[in-house]
Structure 1
Amino acid sequence: MKVKYFPCQPHCFAFGGFDLQMLNTLDAVIKAGVEASKLDIWSRDSDFDILHLWGVGPHNYHLIDWAKKAEKKIVATVLSPYHDTFKSKLGFYYRHFFPDYVGQLIHYYKIIDKIIVLNNLQLNVLNKYYRVPASKMEIIPNIVEDKYFEIPNFNFKMEYRIDNYVLCVGNICTRKNQYNLALACINLNANLVIIGNLLDGELTYGRQLETLIADNKNILWIRELPKASEELVAAYYNCSVYALPSNEETQPISALEAIAMRKPLVLIDREYAHQSFYQGAILSKSSSVKNIETALKRAMTMSVLQVINPEILNCKEKVVGEKYKMCYVKLLQKNL
């Protein structure tokens, strides 16, 4: 059984959590015994059984067509908006009037052999809006690397001379709302550590955040730390609260990592925050500074170490790798 992975977009552009998950999953399935590798678009070698796409859209429709002509099985891991706001629903129905967009997406979802979603909420979205039958979908969550279930040796507090802080990890962008989080922490006189690169196209937002930080010494912005590094894991381990006041997410990995580290969690009260992994999180009523402040105040009264949510164990690398492996095996067994 040979599997080839193909990304949502070139990793030199807008590299984020979805891209990181593709690489983590590739490592996990290899460890599970699958002969998996990245698809080389320059190679003429077509000796593989399954094409695993990360994301489905106009950028890879031609690839799906050619894979089907070559009689390859196709698996796709997809993310879809939850359409949990009036604006999002309106956007979907507006696009529905243009059959080249929604119609094509529905068509290609029919062609794909197996679709992987992250949770029941995503399954319901694809079933309701894109007519994907539940029998075609499989739920496999994001991976949380094993280091987030362990105590790190690195002393983050001593290295960066900051203690009792709120942590936020992820690309800096308007959607993730780090600027309002920073304002909320300033108003509360709380320390804040932000870890993440500025996302492409967010230069103005990044400059606003830089200006704010320059005038407030209680905020530390670390541009990037290697994934699952001792330093990054220690940043989680030593924080008092993890906050992600994001306006839109699917299954934010950083929040899963915070759950694995048993940290109080603050999210925005949107659909993504209501999946079972985040049970017990403090939900801010909106992404406004005032509401984030209120949620942070509540979280700061909680124990620094929460009771672990046992469901997070389903995100361990070995478990996820085996689930993907079984998905591939079942798909090929249908041909026998």
Structure 2
Amino acid sequence: MNVLFQTRKDYKENLAGDSIQMQKTKEYLEKIGIDVDISTKDYISLEKYDIIHIFNLTRIKESYGFTQNALKQGKPYALSTIYWDMSDYIKNGKNTPTRIEWWKRDNHLREEMLNNAAILLPNSEIEWEVLKRSFNVKCQYSVIPNCADRFFYDAKPDNFISEYGLTDFILCVGRISCRKNQLALINALKGTGLNVVLIGPNNNEDYYKQCKFAAGSNALFIDQMPYYKLASAYAAAKVHVLPSWFETPG
């Protein structure tokens, strides 16, 4: 079987959960003999592929183009929705009315994508319930939970401790951005004397500067790191905190 995965153009440069989900799905499908290609283009020939697998319902402009290309060429597509309704976050955050309208404006395209899919692949039953509340969904679905590599479970703290000299700290892993809400964590820990380690790429320069300005000497910022080091960081930490405004559940 030949499968084409399609996702946003910056899935490598702007590494996020959808990037990891797609890459790991590809890795394990190939282990059972399925041929998988990845493309970020919405105009390529799909002749050699049996099915198209599209990732991410949130960034609609690119994803919608993939679905239209598949439909034009008579190819079925599966959709890993990776979706959450951002309405409350947009309303309660520092966003303009224009941004709120931007989110609502594209919902009819999302509904069209959902109902033209051969199957929907949410990460959880909760995500499926959100999709049903938000859209008139008529398509069949199958929940595909997010997983973790085994080496995270077996990881030892030694590598991280030897490099950074820290243990029993508060860990927060995720790209530095408003939605991930690291600034709230930094402010909450002020005066506690607790060490906090924030691992993730800078996704918003202004927000990153705010976090750095608010952080004390007990905060350590680390950019992306190899998985084996990240696993060691989890093992060395006392607790992991994810203070995001929302996450797609899985």
Name the residue aligned to 1:115. 120
Cα distance in 1 for partners of 2:193, 2:163 equals 21
The equivalent residue for 1:49 is: 50
Uncovered stretches (5+) of structure 2, i.e. residues with no partner: none
How big is each residue's C-alpha offset from its partner over 1:56-106, in whole Å with a ceiling of 9 and x where there is no partner? 323232332231232211001012224684948xx9xx869x7x6322322
Equivalent residue for 2:169, pick from 151, 160, 165: 165
Name the residue aligned to 1:211. 213
Q: Percent identity?
A: 23
**Structure-2 residue corresponding to 1:320:** none
Alignment of 1:218-237 (within 5 A): 218-226=218-226, 228-229=227-228, 231-237=229-235
Shift of 1:153: 6.9
Report what 1:124 is aligned to: 129
Letter in 1 for 2:29: V
- Give the aligned partner of residue 70 of structure 1: 73
Q: Is the 8 A contact 2:123 2:249 kept in 1?
A: yes
Question: For structure 1, which segment, 9-18 or 242-251, has the greater mean C-alpha deviation from structure 2 after superposition?
Answer: 9-18
Question: Within 1, Cα distance between the matches of 2:210 and 2:2?
Answer: 47
- Which portions of structure 1, spanning 4 or more consecutive aligned residues, are displaced by more than 6 angstroms? none
Aligned to 1:184: 188
Comparing 157-166 with 235-244, which one deviates more in the overlay?
A: 157-166
After superposition, give the CA deviation of every residue in 1:139-183 in whole Å (9 maximum; x if it has no partner).
001131121121337432232111220001110011111122122
Structure 1 residue identity aligned to 2:125:
N
Give the structure-2-normalised TM-score.
Answer: 0.85
Structure 1 alignment gaps of length 5 or more: 253-336
Opposite residue 164 of structure 1, the aligned amino acid is D
- SS of 1:158's equivalent? helix
| 1:130–1:217 Cα change, 3 Å | same
- Please state if 1:155 is matched with 2:155: no
* Partner amino acid, structure 2, of 1:208: Q
Matching residue of 2:35: 35
Alignment root-mean-square deviation, CA: 2.7
d(CA) in 1 for partners of 2:21, 2:73: 27
In structure 2, C-alpha distance between the alignment counterparts of 1:40 and 1:51, rounded to whole Å: 12
Report the counterpart of residue 15 of structure 1 in structure 2: 15
Following TM superposition, by how much is the alpha carbon of 1:34 offset from its aligned partner in structure 2, in angstroms? 1.6
Secondary structure of 2:171's counterpart equals strand
8 Å contact kept, 2:70–2:77: yes
* Aligned residue in 2 for 1:293: none
Structure 1 contact 3–50 (Cα < 8 Å) conserved: yes
- Say whether residues 1:136 and 2:136 are aligned partners: no
Deviations 1:168-223 (A, max 9, x none): 11100111111221222232110111111100xx111111222234xx22211111
